[in-house]
């Protein structure tokens, strides 16, 4: 099942608990428009490669499209459509004034020099420039893109249009109009949501162990914040090269230093080497997938021992695996809530860019906590009232909000 099929299945699973007209559900299953672009990239040696890129606009009933741009060799049109669809649900889940968008380029950016990455980024920004803007579509970072890439994007856009428009992209460096608190927002938001789950289960203050799959921006900050904010012991962590395990816990700062020197968490002193697959099945309390989609499937779900799965990646659990985990009594905190911190602080950055009123980091954290705590309790109430899975409850809440707006606006043209 590809990511887009996963999204359709998730909508279908929420539909029985919705009181909405079927035509609106049918509209929600398709993107409004998808742009495909070809980007000529001149490499440092003079060779020219033509790379494929996409930008999907899924639904804008609640506001302009919002979603990241990823650079990854496995990016496809279908994946970008699925990710934009999940963004529609995620923005509605967090009660943001946005619809869902997403973009990507099929490229292994690790093979590119900094100069090649800049030329590629500016080429993509030029290609989609007529498809986005502050009140149309506001892109942001995603897999293998970062604040530097956003700075190139916004600079390109502003040069094309001949005006300053810092709110046309989010996730920028603070020096270029970005927001304080954006760097760790996805992980921090996940910790706020996890805190509320632990409260509901009577686990706050207990000695808990967790494993994190992924040590990029999201996984790295999840490691750091789970320890500092919630007192959780991280016993395993992995990246694309493999994982490391130590039942006594792994120090975030020492591991980060090791990876900066070696390029991987592999070989970290005092740990046992494990595979990404073995990490998923460790005997821990909390499993945090924080990399790519589709890593929890019907093949490994029966062997997962964690009692809570916090989805900081987009779409890490297939629908079949979701059912298996539910039958085992494992609480899956869905991506559309668990990792909504990034887009929420992007919204804050968008507001700051539009008004020129920049906020303190403490205020950003406070607003993020408030927003996601409210969302969590609304979803938990739906979950408990209908005796359904948390993902279904999140979709019920989000789709109800989206379709309420669609109903007022009508189906036109």
Helices and strands: H and E segment counts in the chain? 14, 12
The single residue listed with the structure tokens 């789709």 is: 399
Query: With contact defined as beta carbons under 8 Å apart, do 58 and 84 qualify?
Result: yes
Assigned token pair, 145:
């893109």
Q: In what order do the strands lie in the sheet with 137-141?
A: 33-42, 48-59, 99-106, 65-72, 137-141
Neighbours of 252 (CB within 10 A): 20
DSSP 212: E
Sequence-separated (6 or more) residues with CB below 8 Å from residue 385: none
Alpha helices, DSSP H, located in 29-176: 77-93, 114-128, 147-161
Residue 279: which H helix or E strand, with range? helix 276-280
SS3 333: strand
Please tell me the chain's helix, strand, coil percentages from 3-state DSSP, rounded to the nearest 5.
50, 20, 30
- Distances from the Cα of 233 to the Cα of 10, 126, 147, 236, 289, angstroms: 32, 45, 30, 9, 16
Q: How far apart are CA 309 and CA 279, in angstroms?
A: 13
Considering 66, 90, 102, 383, which one is annotated as catalytic? 102
Q: In what order do the strands lie in the sheet with 272-274?
A: 272-274, 242-245, 233-239, 209-213, 286-289, 308-310, 331-333
- Assess whether 29 carries a catalytic annotation: no
Q: How far apart are CA 342 and CA 170, in angstroms?
A: 10
Residue 404: which H helix or E strand, with range? helix 390-409
SS3 317: strand
Assigned token pair, 212:
């994190």
| Burial of residue 40 (number of CB atoms within 10 Å: 0-12, 13-18, 19+) | exposed
DSSP 283: S
Indicate which residues carry an active-site annotation: 102
């Amino acid at each position: 099942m590809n990511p887009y099929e996963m999204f359709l299945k998730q909508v279908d699973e929420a539909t029985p608990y919705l009181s909405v007209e079927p035509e609106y559900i049918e509209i929600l299953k398709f993107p409004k428009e998808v742009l495909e672009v070809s980007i000529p990239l001149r490499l440092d040696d003079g060779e020219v490669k033509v790379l494929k890129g996409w930008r999907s606009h899924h639904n804008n009933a609640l506001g302009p499209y919002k979603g990241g741009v990823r650079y990854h060799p496995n990016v496809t049109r279908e994946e970008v459509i699925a990710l934009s669809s999940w963004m529609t649900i995620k923005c509605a889940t967090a009660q943001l004034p946005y619809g869902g968008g997403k973009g990507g380029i099929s490229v292994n950016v690790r093979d590119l020099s900094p100069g090649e990455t800049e030329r590629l980024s500016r080429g993509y920004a030029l290609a989609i420039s007529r498809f986005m803007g502050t009140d149309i579509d506001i892109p942001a970072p995603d897999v293998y893109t970062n604040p530097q890439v956003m700075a190139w994007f916004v600079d390109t856009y502003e040069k094309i249009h001949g005006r300053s428009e810092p709110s046309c992209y989010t996730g920028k460096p603070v020096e270029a109009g970005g927001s304080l608190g954006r760097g760790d927002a996805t992980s921090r938001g996940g910790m706020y949501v996890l805190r509320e789950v632990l409260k509901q289960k009577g686990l706050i203050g207990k000695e808990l162990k967790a494993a994190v799959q992924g040590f990029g921006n999201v996984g790295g900050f999840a490691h750091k914040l789970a320890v500092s904010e919630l007192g959780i012991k991280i016993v395993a962590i992995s990246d694309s090269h493999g994982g490391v395990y130590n039942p006594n816990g792994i120090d975030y700062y020492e591991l980060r230093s090791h990876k900066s020197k070696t390029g991987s968490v592999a070989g970290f002193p005092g740990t046992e080497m494990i595979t990404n697959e073995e990490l998923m099945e460790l005997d821990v309390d909390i499993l945090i997938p924080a990399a790519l989609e589709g890593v929890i499937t019907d093949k490994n779900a029966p062997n997962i021992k964690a009692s809570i799965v916090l989805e900081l990646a987009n779409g890490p659990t297939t629908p079949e695996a979701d059912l298996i985990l539910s039958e085992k009594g494992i609480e899956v905190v869905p991506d559309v809530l668990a990792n909504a911190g990034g887009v929420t602080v992007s919204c804050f950055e968008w507001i700051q860019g539009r008004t020129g009123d920049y906020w303190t980091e403490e205020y950003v954290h406070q607003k993020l906590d408030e927003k996601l705590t409210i969302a969590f309790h609304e979803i938990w109430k739906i979950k408990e009232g209908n005796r359904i899975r948390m993902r279904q409850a999140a979709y019920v809440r989000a789709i109800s909000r989206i379709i309420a707006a669609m109903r007022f606006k009508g189906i036109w043209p």
